Amino acid sequence: MIKKHDKINKKEIWAIGDVQGCYDQLRTLLSHKVFSSGENIELWFAGDMINRGPKSLDTIKYLMSLNERNVCVLGNHDLHLLATFAGFRKSSSSDTLEEILNSADVIDIVNWIRFRPLAHFEQNNLMVHAGVMAQWDIKKTLSLASEVQDLLRDKNWQHNIKKIFGNTSLIWDDELKGNKRFRTITNALTRIRLCRITGNMVFSIKDPDAKEKDTNLVPWFEMPDRKTKDITIIFGHWSALGLFIQKNLICLDTGCVWGRSLTAIRLNDRKIISVPFNIK
């Protein structure tokens, strides 16, 4: 007889990097034989499911059609769609969100997106789109993520959304209140790459080797005394870093939307599969 916990332990979690509307590549990736065993497989998406790529509408509708066991955390581009829909942010020339905004299903899509989490934690794995602040332990990370999730899930979310956009404050302080607090949480979870050693987030630099030129700059995960060091953190957002795997860190943004590849990793054994942007 199979006990319930045996079944749970057999679960295979596959984490997938930034899709950004690369629907054909996603479907090709998921047609790999490793996904054919079906029901014990759970897919985790590291955010930025849409925008910049060619097929954001197909991508989001496909993700919405997946079983509820699958997990999508929100990235900056997903939040940008919500803010654009709410009229708070304008589309930029590089956006490819019009097909969603003009879709007859836009309300369902927006409502689905705004109920996704900003952080997901299970079996000592934390998935966020970008990163976490050094001072946050796992309990605090999840609790802060839920503060922003509550804003997005509220019936007044279209009013609330302006509270999460903006670059102040760039440094975490437990005493932050109101919009500064919400912005700092959102920026860390969905936009962080490099920090000053003082803890200030820096958004103008993407080069992972920037620390070679400026020793005050460090990737967020190399901040001293980071309180989540014992947890495996799965993230995307940093295509210049690319596939980056250490004992407790997995970056999965392999820049499919920039013509590179879409990557999935099985968390159980770290088997990797990937599909190039140019599918043969």
8 Å CB contact between 36 and 64: no
The residue within the footprint of Mn ion, chosen from 17, 21, 75, 117 (CB under 5 A), is: 75
Window of 25-33, 49-57, 112-120, 236-244 that interacts with Mn ion by CB under 5 A: 236-244
CB of 112 to Mn ion, least distance (A): 19
Type of residue numbered 166: G
In angstroms, give the least distance from the CB of 219 to Mn ion.
15
Residue type, 85: F
Per-residue b/e over 18-36, b at no fewer than 16 CB within 10 Å? bbbbbbbbbeebbeeeeee
Say whether residue 48 binds Mn ion (CB under 5 A): yes
Contact stretch for Mn ion (CB under 5 A) within 68-76, 92-100, 148-156, 196-204: 68-76
Interface region with Mn ion, contact rule CB under 5 A, candidates 24-32, 48-56, 97-105, 152-160? 48-56
Shortest distance, position 239 Cβ to Mn ion, whole Å: 9
Answer yes or no whether residue 76 interacts with Mn ion by CB under 5 A: yes
Phi, psi dihedrals of residue 266, rounded to the nearest 5°: -85, 120
Question: Nearest residue by C-beta to Mn ion?
Answer: 237
Burial tier of 255 (Cβ tally within 10 Å: 0-12, 13-18, 19+): buried
Q: Which of 13, 237, 267, 277 binds Mn ion (CB under 5 A)?
A: 237
Residue (181 or 237) nearer to Mn ion, CB:
237
Residue 95 interacts with Mn ion (CB under 5 A): yes or no: no
Size of the site for Mn ion (CB under 5 A): 4
CA–CA separation, 263 and 196 (whole Å): 29
Nearer to Mn ion, 141 or 253 (CB): 253
| C-alpha span between 127 and 106 (Å, rounded) | 26
Distance CA 229, CA 55 (A): 36
First to last CA, the chain: 45
Which CB, 56 or 76, lies closer to Mn ion?
Answer: 76
Q: Least distance in Å: CB of 190 to Mn ion?
A: 7
Phi (first) and psi of residue 44, to 5 degrees: -115, 130
Measured from the CB atom, the residue of 41 and 192 that comes closer to Mn ion is 192
Task: By CB under 5 A, name the binding residues for Mn ion.
Answer: 48, 75-76, 237
